[in-house]
Amino acid sequence: MYIYDAVDQRLVDERVRQFRDQTRRFLDGKLTEEEFRPLRLRNGLYIQRYAPMLRIAIPYGLLSSRQLRKLAHITRHYDRGYGHFTTRQNLQINWPRLEQVPDILAELAEVQLHSIQACGNDMRNITSDHFAGIAPDEVVNPFVWCEVVRQWGALHPEFNYLPRKFKIAVNGARADRAAVAFHDVGLHALRNEEGEIGFRVLVGGGLGRSPSMGFAIREFLPWRHLLSYLEAIFRIYNRYGRRDNIWKARIKILVKELGPEKFREAVEAEWTHLKDGSSTLIAEEIERIESRFTRPAYDRLAVQDDVPENAWAAPGFRSWTKRNVHPHKVPGYAAVTLSLKKTGVPPGDMTSDQMDAIADLADRYSFGELRVTHEQNLVLADVRSADLYEVWQVARLLGLATPNIGLLTDLISCPGGDLCSLANAKSIPVAEAIQRRFDDLDYLHDIGEIDLNISGCINACGQHHIGHIGILGVDKNGEEWYQIEIGGNQGEIHPGARPALGRVLGPSFARAEVPEVIERLIECYLARRDSEAERFIDVVHRIGIEPFKERVYVNAHQRPASGGRQLAAA
Amino acid sequence: MSTLIRDRRPAADSWQRLNRNPDGTLPALPERGPYIVPLALWVEQRAQLLERPGPLGVWLDSHEEPEAIAPDVARLDVIAVNFPKFQDGRGFSIGRLLRERFGYTGELRAIGHITRDHLYYMEGCGFNAFELRDGEDPQEALAAFNDFSEAYQASVTRPLPLFRRRG
């Protein structure tokens, strides 16, 4: 965990005081709705379909057990006893009362949490690799750099009213678990031949209604220049990003309209003025921030113990370790993913009681620390191998041990039309219908790794463009339909499939047909894969989408089994 | 009448602002008195304006480029920057450029849709004068300069970022 110093704490406290005053002025009629809106957004408060939604920032997904207990208390006391973990590693609560929000923020500040810039046209919460610091393939620990950038972007005097929201992701491992190519700025930390840290800087990636992949504006930006270079990018965007049309206001549109080369020239020209200025980072500052992160006190003897031999006989334990347990760079330790994707529970949802129980689990088995993944699960990052069996037993009692991490039912979904006022269609019932269709664990494991993402509208909060299978809710004459894409890929996890945006398969489907369509895509994949090691995405990238298209649309009537009903495409 | 704050105090305003005519044409500049003229008028009549006795002011709209007056900042007594909407943040960058890059030291005034909620950030970007929107109590608004007691970043008010000011 990063531990606040006195200044960090003071700023968060002062922010609460400021927002309390702004809320009071709004309720007294001294601020108009139009004026209050950007102010409340900058404090995480969004108006949803039925009620306000408060988004709580969990910087780079890192959470302490103490913080999780506080979230349990807040969801219980101010909300309806549950919260929703999002694809941006945040927590959303869906039923707070406006006049109580300042109190909620004050409670968050007590445990070094906040909602600063959780919504609004500003620099949002920074996301990162949920295995940061422990992954065997890590080159640079991204958390330190996330915190450096978090501080720089927090309450920035110049960049608080950008044309549109601005999302940054930092990755520091060989595999990209942070989807850096799909952020306004993606930072890929690496080391040059001399061992110095620097960043591959990608700009203009994003999802939403005009999905695009970021382009590399710098192949190696030495770490000292990180903030001055960001300042140059932000300034060009703040000055020239479009403000006339909210749908064309993201930086990706500016990059596209100028052309990547022109954009790069503009940034470089601005940077000549800022380079080597006072924002140039110094080693002392990096060391200072590094030293404020607590590190687990690993037991060197842990390597001598392993999972007790008799544990393997327990039905279900082996498949859980196969899917939900991940390698750790310290011998004798492993990372555990607690699945929030149990069939029947909206993806990412967690009750207050579960939060308390998980906090206890983290205290007992993982140094009191947790990570939120952008796949909407929680990770205990530092579990002794010898404790895995006990952790599994507790997780199972809590309903958090579904052995499906990385598999089809570990799907990502936005809250959709059940809660969100932007949504065209519901997404949670679709998620559940798919999970029910694929409830056979052996079949699920046989299908292997696959990302399935569902968004209830074109804003793409469920990141459907980068799902190997992406489902998008669309509105046709007031009816809910679902468009399906395949071939999207969030980042290079295994050597092979490159980051990519999905391609639309064809006409969309009624909700009831979606599970059947997914089934056919899977059947097509299973028939075409050259081995069990070849994943769904690898096959799509190898053979293209046509065979899948054919399977879903053209040959629909030739299929003998499973339902037999012809798909009515609309 | 909006209310002016200058250097963290409510202040009287001796300046008048000249706007474009409703048809988009530029108005004639009255013979006397300190006026803040639109950038287009400055660009068109720069030579005459520099001859004119008395103080000089220019205002920029949020989409206009401060580079256009960069060579002349030493001759100007007031530069005003318009924030046409509560959420239009371009003026923040304009302020910093005028102060940090072009070395402007005179009055830098924020005009347009300004409430106390902007003051802290605007001051960080070099503004020292603020025309508050109607209905804002200037006395109450003064407290907003102290919304935050510290900042991480380098700015006009804090040329060194926090990490270079730590002991």
Beta-ladder partners of A83? A350
Question: Do A157 and B166 make contact, defined as CB atoms within 8 angstroms?
Answer: no
Contact present, B137 and B155 (Cβ < 8 Å)? no
B11 φ/ψ angles, rounded to the nearest 5 degrees: -140, 155
Q: Is the dihedral of CA B62, B65, B68, B70 positive or negative?
A: positive
Spell A450-480 as b/e; 16+ CB within 10 A means b: bbbbbbbbbbbbbbbbbbbbbbbbbeeeeeb
Segment A171-192 shows an average pLDDT of: 96
Q: Which residues of B touch A157 (CB under 8 A)?
A: 92, 120-125, 151, 153, 155
Residue type, A472: L
Cβ neighbors of B5 (< 8 A, separation 6 or more) are: B11, B119, B129, B130, B132, B138, B141, B142
Beta B78-83 vs B57-60: how paired, if at all? parallel
Residue A348, token pair as written in the block: 């990412």
Segment A225-238 shows an average pLDDT of: 98
Judged by DSSP in three states, A293 sits in strand
Q: How far apart are the first and last CA of chain A?
A: 50
Q: Which residues of A touch B159 (CB under 8 A)?
A: 278
Alpha-carbon span A87 to A29, nearest angstrom: 36
Confidence category of residue A48, pLDDT binned at 50, 70, 90 = low
Alpha-carbon span A399 to B105, nearest angstrom: 64
Residue A555: pLDDT above 70?
A: no
Alpha-carbon span A9 to A7, nearest angstrom: 5
Of A154, A162, A243, the CB nearest to B152: A154
Alpha-carbon span B53 to A567, nearest angstrom: 82
Instruction: For residue range A184-214, list pLDDT tens digits in order.
Output: 999 999 999 999 999 999 999 999 888 999 9
Q: Tell me which DSSP letter residue B98 carries.
A: I
Task: Write down the pLDDT at residue A50.
Answer: 66
Residue type, B106: G
Sheet holding A325-327, edge to edge: A62-64, A369-372, A378-384, A333-338, A325-327
Note whether A9 contacts B: Cβ–Cβ < 8 A.
no
Task: Write down the pLDDT at residue A49.
Answer: 64
Contact present, A124 and A44 (Cβ < 8 Å)? no
Confidence category of residue A494, pLDDT binned at 50, 70, 90 = low
Judged by DSSP in three states, A26 sits in helix
Instruction: For residue range B75-84, list pLDDT tens digits in order.
Output: 999 999 999 9
A476 φ/ψ angles, rounded to the nearest 5 degrees: -125, 110
Segment A307-324 shows an average pLDDT of: 94
Q: Which residue has the higher pLDDT, A94 or B36?
A: B36
Burial classification of residue A245, based on how many CB atoms lie within 10 Å of its CB (0-12 exposed, 13-18 middle, 19 or more buried): exposed
Residue type, A63: L
Alpha-carbon span A136 to A105, nearest angstrom: 37
Tokens 């949490």 sit on residue: A113
**Percentage of residues of chain A with pLDDT beyond 70:** 96
Residue B16, token pair as written in the block: 């008048």
Comparing CA positions, the residue from A230, A89, A93 lying closest to residue A162 is A230
Question: Do A277 and B88 make contact, defined as CB atoms within 8 angstroms?
Answer: no
Alpha-carbon span B96 to B124, nearest angstrom: 8
**A-B contacts at Cβ under 8 angstroms:** 95
Q: Tell me which DSSP letter residue B100 carries.
A: I
Instruction: For residue range B13-31, list pLDDT tens digits in order.
Output: 999 999 999 998 999 888 8
Comparing CA positions, the residue from A439, A240, A296 lying closest to residue A1 is A296
Contact present, A433 and A460 (Cβ < 8 Å)? no
Of B93, B148, B150, the CB nearest to A238: B93
Which stretches does DSSP call E strand in A163-214?
Answer: 168-171, 185-191, 197-203
Task: Write down the pLDDT at residue A554.
Answer: 75
Sheet holding B9-11, edge to edge: B9-11, B3-6, B129-132, B107-112, B78-83, B57-60, B35-38, B16-17
Confidence category of residue A570, pLDDT binned at 50, 70, 90 = very low
Contact present, B42 and B58 (Cβ < 8 Å)? yes
Contact present, A378 and A372 (Cβ < 8 Å)? yes
A 486-515 → B contacts, CB under 8 A: none
A 250-289 → B contacts, CB under 8 A: 273, 277-279, 281-282, 284-285, 288
Q: Which residue has the higher pLDDT, A153 or A307?
A: A153
Residue A567: pLDDT above 70?
A: no
Q: Which residues of B touch A279 (CB under 8 A)?
A: 153-154, 161
Which stretches does DSSP call E strand in A178-329?
Answer: 185-191, 197-203, 215-222, 325-327
Phi-psi region of A254 (alpha: psi -120 to 50; beta: other; left: phi over 0): alpha
Map out the domains of chain A with their CATH numbers: 6-67+90-110 (no CATH), 127-289 (3.30.413.10), 302-397 (3.90.480.20), 412-558 (3.30.413.10)
A 35-64 → B contacts, CB under 8 A: 35, 38-39
Rg (CA), chain B: 16
Beta B16-17 vs B35-38: how paired, if at all? parallel
Of B93, B148, B160, the CB nearest to A278: B160
Which stretches does DSSP call E strand in A352-488?
Answer: 369-372, 378-384, 412-413, 452-455, 469-476, 479-486
Question: Do B154 and A121 make contact, defined as CB atoms within 8 angstroms?
Answer: no
Instruction: For residue range A59-93, list pLDDT tens digits in order.
Output: 999 999 999 999 999 999 999 999 999 888 899 99
Cβ neighbors of A104 (< 8 A, separation 6 or more) are: A54, A74, A78, A96
Question: Do A157 and B88 make contact, defined as CB atoms within 8 angstroms?
Answer: no
Residue A290, token pair as written in the block: 């590094």
Burial classification of residue B70, based on how many CB atoms lie within 10 Å of its CB (0-12 exposed, 13-18 middle, 19 or more buried): middle
CA of B160 vs chain A CAs: smallest distance (Å):
6
**Percentage of residues of chain A with pLDDT beyond 90:** 86
Give the residue from B65, B85, B86 with the most A CB atoms within 10 Å of its CB, the best one to mutate: B86
Geometric angle at alpha carbon A257, from B95 and B100, rounded to 5°: 15
Segment A493-516 shows an average pLDDT of: 89
A 143-162 → B contacts, CB under 8 A: 151-152, 154-162
Task: Write down the pLDDT at residue B81.
Answer: 98
Question: Do B117 and A273 make contact, defined as CB atoms within 8 angstroms?
Answer: no
Confidence category of residue A540, pLDDT binned at 50, 70, 90 = very high
Alpha-carbon span A274 to A229, nearest angstrom: 8
Q: Which residues of A touch B89 (CB under 8 A)?
A: 121, 158-163, 238
Question: Do B163 and A38 make contact, defined as CB atoms within 8 angstroms?
Answer: no
Beta A469-476 vs A452-455: how paired, if at all? parallel
CA of A170 vs chain B CAs: smallest distance (Å):
20
Helical pair A514-528 and A536-543, crossing angle rounded to 10 deg:
70
Contact present, B80 and B126 (Cβ < 8 Å)? no
Residue A5, token pair as written in the block: 């110093």
Task: Write down the pLDDT at residue A562.
Answer: 42
Task: Write down the pLDDT at residue B32.
Answer: 85
Tell me, yes or no, if the pTM score tops 0.90. Answer: yes
Q: Tell me which DSSP letter residue A206 carries.
A: B
Segment A11-26 shows an average pLDDT of: 97
Beta A479-486 vs A509-510: how paired, if at all? antiparallel
**What are the sequence ranges of the domains in chain B?**
3-164
Task: Write down the pLDDT at residue A51.
Answer: 74
Alpha-carbon span A493 to A179, nearest angstrom: 10
Instruction: For residue range A339-376, list pLDDT tens digits in order.
Output: 999 998 888 899 999 999 999 999 999 999 999 999 99
Confidence category of residue A542, pLDDT binned at 50, 70, 90 = very high
Contact present, B80 and B57 (Cβ < 8 Å)? yes
Task: Write down the pLDDT at residue A564.
Answer: 37
Q: Rounded mean pLDDT of chain A?
A: 93
Residue A272, token pair as written in the block: 């000549």
Give the residue from A20, A150, A158 with the most B CB atoms within 10 Å of its CB, the best one to mutate: A158
Contact present, A367 and A382 (Cβ < 8 Å)? yes
Contact present, A275 and A225 (Cβ < 8 Å)? yes
Task: Tell whether ipTM is more than 0.85.
Answer: yes
Task: Write down the pLDDT at residue A416.
Answer: 86
Instruction: For residue range A393-451, list pLDDT tens digits in order.
Output: 999 999 999 999 999 999 999 888 887 878 888 999 999 999 999 999 899 999 999 99
Identify the segments of chain B with pLDDT beneath 50: none
